[in-house]
Structure 1
Amino acid sequence: MSRQAIVLRVGADDTKAVRPRLAGAHVTDIHFDGLADIDHLLGGMLGKLEKLSLQPSEMSLDLALLAAAVTAADTRVERGVEAQDGWTRELEVCIPVRDLQAWVDVTPLLEKTLNFLTGDIWALSFRARARSVERILEPFTETHAEKPTSVCLFSGGLDSFIGAVDLLAEGQSVLLVSHYWDSVTSKHQELCLTALEERFKDVPFYSVRARVGFAKGTVDGNLMENTLRGRSFLFFALAAMAADAIGEEVTIHVPENGLISLNVPLDPLRLGSLSTRTTHPYYMARFNDLLAKLGLGCSLHNAYRHMTKGEMVEQCADQKLLRAQAANTISCSSPANSRFSPDEERRQSKNCGHCVPCLIRRAALKRGFGKDETDYQLIDLEETILDSKKAEGQHVRSFQVAIARLRGKPDRARFDIHKPGPLIDFPDDWADYEAVYRDGLEEVASLLENVEARPLD
């Protein structure tokens, strides 16, 4: 077990010794020489934006570089190896920036934001860029007659597909921003994008996709970490860079249903390792604070924060398209896991059908369409008794316990919604958050009405 520091170096002359703030931290250097290497690190985002005649500022570029370094720490430092309590790691990121004072000023906000997001203890260190990269982006004057008017996160999931459909059905000129590391996520993003391109041929919209990640073993003594609690920091940062390249005050749409966004723990054991906060209202508010303090005009907005996933399905602006393409979206918490199905001769990645996001998805499609044609690993939840001590029944049983507890004492929703994190930024929305929590659980209850999950030994 040890503290870990990721030192991002940019420029051939970025060679000065960097002393981490975390005493005794093991240091991993990640070095990139210039623009080409940086663009590769960011999945080609800069080059793809340039093809759209869009160029971000150095400030939003530094935010994206910070997010990449955070991703390296979050995905390549194993909790089981480095965390003294099996979960909380001590992580530091040291990066060069153009406007040093601006980043020093937001360091406390950044650390608080990351601590909340991932459940770790973060330290951030900034230094001035090396002379050869004082300016990384060369200005260009070529522009398109039309620019996108907003940005929308596009993950390949059901919620993001609905978000994109709703915007395009309104005729909005939107820039869809995606990032991925595994081929499964990439495949579903491509399928969904193709469907949108065919359906909305007369609506001018754009898309950029970035493959961002780090090889196994980037950090000595560690292979990879699967909890990925910091993934939305990278997603938001890439979207902010795209929005900044558009200019002016641009909205970044974050399509996520309210039940998942709140992510109230289903039972006491789901705090910490099993409670994600990737789009929690408190986290998104802090990220918006960060954007404002850095002078970036964009801001995050989740129009579906008070809606269940089933309501999103029911109210999607193009029901025919959603019915045809829902099965091509992926909602699973572990989409890259290869699994055998009984009738398959080779491994195939798919929605598992029994994790928390899959159960919420199944309930939503049942509510909206009366059926779900997604190919799940666990196809029929009612076929047999599910073992609650195994993955196939663990989350089903957790949902059933949470549903029974809330039905027995409905007023507890007033308190439960605050367990994952504070809602101090939105006091006028508390009643709406209570409603989406209750309605979301009842939506899942309808799916699990005839499902039995219990210990089988």
Structure 2
Amino acid sequence: MPRFTLRLSATDDIPADEATSSFYWLPDQRSTFTRGFSPSLATLGSVPPLNVDVVRVALTAFAADRTVPRKGYGANWNRRQLELEVPVSDAAVWNGVADELAGVLGFLSGDRWSLSFIQQLELVETLTPDEISVTPQRVVLLSGGADSAIGGLYSRSLLATDQQHVLLSHYNNTMLAPIQRHIATELQRLIPGPSQEHVVVHLGRRSERIDGTSYPSESTTRSRSLLFLALGLAVASLHQVPLWIPENGFASINPPLGPERLGSLSTRTTHPKFLQDLAAVLTKVGAHAVIENPFAHVTKGEMYRRVVDLVGAEEASSFLSATHSCALTGQRAHGISSDRPCGVCFGCVLRRASFAASEVPDLSDYIAPSSDPAVQKWLDSKSVEQPVRNFIHRGVRARDLTTLSLPDDYRLRDVLDLCQRGIQELRSLYQ
């Protein structure tokens, strides 16, 4: 079982076995992680220690997720076993929920996790963060995708002119940063008045270990959403306000496109059970964990229509088309800019269907179809369009939803209605 330890200090002479099994969060160039963001989170402000701990756990999991390659592809992924040791402010409290938190992480990534915690002395930081002058109403996660952009727009529409919200963006792939900044600027233009802070965090695992050797690389980083949430909660904890994670309910529930996709290919980044269980564990240890999805019961197309109601069809088209929902990352290997969406992954298919269902013009510059045979072959190998067609034809029955681990407070008939509306939107793409 691969075992990794997060270390917040390092000697000059590090044994090879320690370098291989450790991640180092350091203030200098030897750090495993992107520089400029400290392990005390002092750049964000006086984050409560328990929420600092949450970020450390999430970042260690994210690094381990990227470092241990999966075996097999598609629906034949293996279930990895990963063990983490994390320094925290109160090891006794965290060890008391280690198994529960490991279960939450396992539900998210599809792996088996084992967590243990060690006591860490308080770090002394001299950084002075930028102070937020007005207590925000909420913190909104802004990933660069359409749903998060709509969340930011909807949040601004609820603010009085003397109120504000905070947008929290995280990126590891530098392609996302300008998209996130553009969306933040557009939100202020489209709904002027309320003030707004945009906190951008560049944080990820570097390609080389502390001894200069290269890390293995796994691209299916399911745990990134935990890191994103942890960073958002850290900012929300400064003001004890809710954290919004805007995502359409159909994608959150994510009914599998086929029986073979029940496990490995059924993503759970905003699944209601994951969010509820995570909040329950974090609340148990005393960390701030108020997480809300304002769109948990609506489809993506219905979210698009809400944008039309707020700013009009022409502005909605321009605003939504500038977001990025593509899940593929192999564009550069074919000489294509990494910010161009493929058009055939599930994120792109659902996006296209939402434009069609809402009758909002889609100005996105999709790669598919391509006149280049090599590019088209790559697109065909990644396309989910035929599975989506099969899914539309098959539909969803109430008994299918019993396999999705939905929370007890999600009424089956409401979830079934949501899925049927989502399928109808997908159908609009192929009429």
Bin of the TM-score, shorter chain as denominator length? 0.7 to 0.9
- Using the TM superposition, name which of 213-222 and 257-266 deviates more: 213-222
Q: Which of 150, 164, 178 is the equivalent residue of 2:138?
A: 150
Runs of 4+ in 1 over 4 A off after TM superposition: 12-17, 33-45, 135-145, 217-222, 345-348, 386-389
Distance 1:142 1:151 in 2: 16
Q: Residue type of the partner of 2:418?
A: V
2:155 aligned residue: 167
- Secondary structure of the 1:183 match is coil
Q: CA deviation at 1:337?
A: 3.2
1:445 aligned residue: 427
Determine whether 1:414 maps to 2:398: yes
Deviation track 1:347-373 (CA, whole Å, cap 9, x = no partner) reads 453111011111110011112234311
1:237 aligned residue: 230
Q: CA deviation at 1:138?
A: 7.0
Q: CA deviation at 1:298?
A: 3.6
Q: Where do residues 94-243 of structure 1 align in structure 2 (5 Å cutoff)?
A: 94-129=85-120, 133-136=121-124, 145-171=133-159, 173-216=164-207, 218=209, 223-243=216-236
2:373 aligned residue: none
2:388 aligned residue: 399
Q: Residue type of the partner of 1:31?
A: Y
- Percent of pairs identical after alignment? 28
2:55 aligned residue: 64
Distance 1:439 1:124, change over 3 A: same
Q: CA deviation at 1:87?
A: 1.9
- Secondary structure of the 1:78 match is coil
Distance 1:144 1:211 in 2: 20
- Using the TM superposition, name which of 346-355 and 146-155 deviates more: 346-355
Q: Residue type of the partner of 2:230?
A: A
Distance 1:273 1:222 in 2: 23
Determine whether 1:301 maps to 2:292: yes
Taking structure 1 as the reference length, what is the TM-score of the superposition?
0.81
Q: CA deviation at 1:323?
A: 2.1
- Using the TM superposition, name which of 153-162 and 138-147 deviates more: 138-147
Determine whether 1:49 maps to 2:40: no
Distance 1:77 1:29, change over 3 A: same
- Secondary structure of the 1:229 match is coil
Task: Judge conservation of contact 2:42–2:127 (CA < 8 Å) in 1.
Answer: no
Deviation track 1:55-102 (CA, whole Å, cap 9, x = no partner) reads 211111111011111110111211129xxx742111111111111111
Could you tell me which runs of 5 or more consecutive residues in structure 2 were left unpaired when the two chains were aligned: 371-375
Task: Judge conservation of contact 2:43–2:127 (CA < 8 Å) in 1.
Answer: no
Distance 1:270 1:96, change over 3 A: same
Q: CA deviation at 1:331?
A: 0.5
Q: Residue type of the partner of 2:140?
A: C
Distance 2:330 2:322 in 1: 15
- Secondary structure of the 1:207 match is strand
1:352 aligned residue: 342
Q: Which of 306, 319, 323 is the equivalent residue of 1:315?
A: 306
- Secondary structure of the 2:341 match is coil
Task: Judge conservation of contact 2:20–2:209 (CA < 8 Å) in 1.
Answer: no
Q: CA deviation at 1:151?
A: 0.8
Distance 1:75 1:39, change over 3 A: closer
Q: Residue type of the partner of 1:438?
A: Q
Distance 2:253 2:129 in 1: 43
Distance 1:339 1:35 in 2: 32
Task: Judge conservation of contact 2:86–2:118 (CA < 8 Å) in 1.
Answer: yes
- Secondary structure of the 1:274 match is coil
Could you tell me which runs of 5 or more consecutive residues in structure 1 were left unpaired when the two chains were aligned: 21-25, 381-385, 407-411, 450-457
Q: Residue type of the partner of 2:103?
A: K
Determine whether 1:324 maps to 2:318: yes
Q: Which of 359, 364, 371 is the equivalent residue of 2:361?
A: 371
Distance 1:339 1:445, change over 3 A: farther
Q: CA deviation at 1:134?
A: 2.5
Q: Residue type of the partner of 1:357?
A: G
Q: Residue type of the partner of 1:49?
A: L
1:93 aligned residue: 84
Task: Judge conservation of contact 2:42–2:129 (CA < 8 Å) in 1.
Answer: no
Matched residues, number: 413
Q: CA deviation at 1:49?
A: 2.5
Deviation track 1:254-273 (CA, whole Å, cap 9, x = no partner) reads 11011110111111122333
Q: CA deviation at 1:9?
A: 0.9
Taking structure 2 as the reference length, what is the TM-score of the superposition?
0.86
Q: CA deviation at 1:154?
A: 0.4
Distance 1:448 1:119 in 2: 32
Distance 1:146 1:114, change over 3 A: same
Q: Residue type of the partner of 1:401?
A: N
Distance 1:397 1:272 in 2: 19
2:408 aligned residue: 425
Distance 1:336 1:175, change over 3 A: farther
Distance 1:276 1:283 in 2: 11
Q: Residue type of the partner of 2:264?
A: S
Deviation track 1:293-331 (CA, whole Å, cap 9, x = no partner) reads 121344111111111100000012333542222111000
Q: CA deviation at 1:185?
A: 1.7
Deviation track 1:76-133 (CA, whole Å, cap 9, x = no partner) reads 211129xxx742111111111111111011111111101111011101111111xxx4
Q: CA RMSD in A?
A: 3.4
Q: Which of 237, 256, 278 is the equivalent residue of 2:269?
A: 278
Task: Judge conservation of contact 2:225–2:269 (CA < 8 Å) in 1.
Answer: yes
Q: Residue type of the partner of 2:196?
A: F
Distance 1:47 1:128, change over 3 A: closer
Distance 1:184 1:281, change over 3 A: same
Q: CA deviation at 1:291?
A: 2.4
Distance 2:137 2:61 in 1: 29
Distance 1:142 1:115 in 2: 36
- Using the TM superposition, name which of 186-195 and 61-70 deviates more: 186-195
Distance 1:148 1:361 in 2: 30
